[in-house]
Chains A and B, each alone.
Chain A
Amino acid sequence: MSVLRRQAPLDSGLLGLFEEAASNAERAAVLLREMLAGFPERSELARDVLLCEQEGDRITHDVMQRMSSNGTRPGIEAGDVHALAGAIDDIVDHAEEAADFLGLYGIEAPMEQAEELSEVLVGATGGVTRALDALRTGDDLASRLVAIHQLENEGDRVSRDAIAALFAGHIDPMVVIRWKDIFESLEEAVDACETAAHVIEGIDLKRRR
């Protein structure tokens, strides 16, 4: 005879903070995509991406505050709360890092692969928002997680192709150094979306047991 365990309901306020964080990450990705598409004329958008990064930090702080002060059970293990908040925060941090590098390194013009990666990032952050929505409503989560994994694979492919392009022939070594950093930041942002997807999947599995 199986022992049925009653799961505590998900803390709606906590889930709301995660949704807010994911929406903020999606906004940062959209801004970065706009910035790259219109670079260097739209380089001022780096400031808006930085504001997203600060907003992300604020939301993460609120999540931690809620965990430490809330008397009610969150319905999610503390470790998962910490991991999910960290992963979503990482998305924005890496996106902001890429935007910052564009100015810091005196980049003169974008590269097509960077624009492609930012497009992938917009898709993956949107996927995280939709996955959180499924976690709240109980809708089909698996297909949304698969979509994030596919985008992460696409990000890997574009990133490898971009780095290979930097090492083909006699490219200016300074271009190689600068763009390698930027591609890596963009890829890490996409990777963080997959990390968030893994944590959401783990939360869902634990709730179904």
Chain B
Amino acid sequence: MIRLAIVDSDSGFVRVLCKRLEAMSWDHRVLAAPPPVEELVAIRLNAMVVDPAVLGPHAWEFLERVGAALPAMGLVVCTGRSTVAQRVRGLRLGADDWITKPCHPEEVVARVEAVVRRRRRASTPADVGPLVAGELEIRADQFQAFVGSQSAELTRREFELLHLLAEGRGQVLQREEVYQRVWGYQMARGDRSVDVFVRKVRSKLKALSPEWNYIHTHFGIGYRFQPETSDGEPADVTAPGADVPGPVPDAAPADSRPADGEPGAVYEGAVHELGARLASSA
């Protein structure tokens, strides 16, 4: 499923496009104004269709900032008549494709799919090397962590949390930031999701690697990933490289997406359902 944002104020175009996206079960949002780039990072989009006319005089700067902050997100400009110079400038600043209105929604969908496909090819998880921390090996290509050949049996969300913290390499990450990056939304005040998931991850890691502590709490702030032996001896987090063959897991999950009935599955289904509802009311 593709997560798409549409930044456009052309109600007719948006309505027709959304109808098509609903039929394809895409998770999509319509934004009447450009959101701050930090928020776009949080909602983990695969692609964005944007009309620079909505962005106002700072359209080019916005496209440039989005392109720089979200290199993995596809950016498709869909706008009225434009000059060759404008199209060249947009494409050079970070747009992946340029469509001129009036256009058929099917063409927009196909172009978004093509852009997302190209992005995915360019950054397949297999290209991402494992992170090694203490006894732990965190493998993004398998959405899993291992100690030797034993899998920690992390769910997708637990893995994403661990991976995010591990990538921080000793840096304290605030709860709110962790929530935004893993859940894709702003954290509601009082929400204890991050604490609960850290507890779950810790428990699974402890079962496999009892002599090590990996995630440290910074009260009132958040969490820090730093492998330490029970004596308090720290170890580095290293990325030996993508070419290093990893362990062969005993029971590597064929599909790391949450199974039906898992909270993650409920969440993903709910997001999709809501996206469709939001779009129909737009």
Contacts and interface: CB of A to CB of B under 8 A. Distances in A.
Given A106-B267, A108-B193, A108-B267, A173 B186 contact: no
Contact of B263 (A106, A110, A169): A106
Given A172-B185, A172-B271, A174-B271, A109 B190 contact: no
B84 interface: no
Interface residues of A, number: 24
Contacts of B106: none
B190 A111 contact: yes
A200 B187 CA distance: 42
A40 B271 CA distance: 21
Contact of A174 (B42, B189, B191, B270): B270
A137 B270 CA distance: 53
A111 B191 contact: yes
Contacts of A171: 185-188
Contacts, number: 62
A179 B196 contact: no
A110 B192 contact: yes
Q: How large is the interface on B (under 10, 10 to 19, 20 to 34, 35 or more residues)?
A: 20 to 34
A173 B42 CA distance: 15
Interface stretch (A9-17, A21-29, A87-95, A160-168): A160-168
B195 interface: yes
A106 B188 contact: no
A113 B186 contact: no
Given A39-B196, A108-B193, A170 B188 contact: no
A62 interface: no
B197 interface: yes
Interface string B172-206: 00000000000111111111111111000000000
B32 interface: no
A179 B270 CA distance: 14
B39 interface: yes
A170 B190 contact: no
B16 interface: no
Contacts of B43: 170
15 contacts: A39-B196, A105-B266, A106-B267, A107-B263, A108-B197, A108-B267, A109-B191, A165-B188, A168-B188, A170-B39, A170-B185, A171-B186, A174-B271, A174-B274, A175-B188
Interface of B: 39, 42-43, 183-197, 263, 266-267, 270-271, 274, 278
Given A109-B194, A110-B196, A175-B188, 9 more contacts: A39-B196, A106-B267, A109-B193, A112-B192, A113-B190, A165-B188, A171-B188, A174-B267, A179-B188
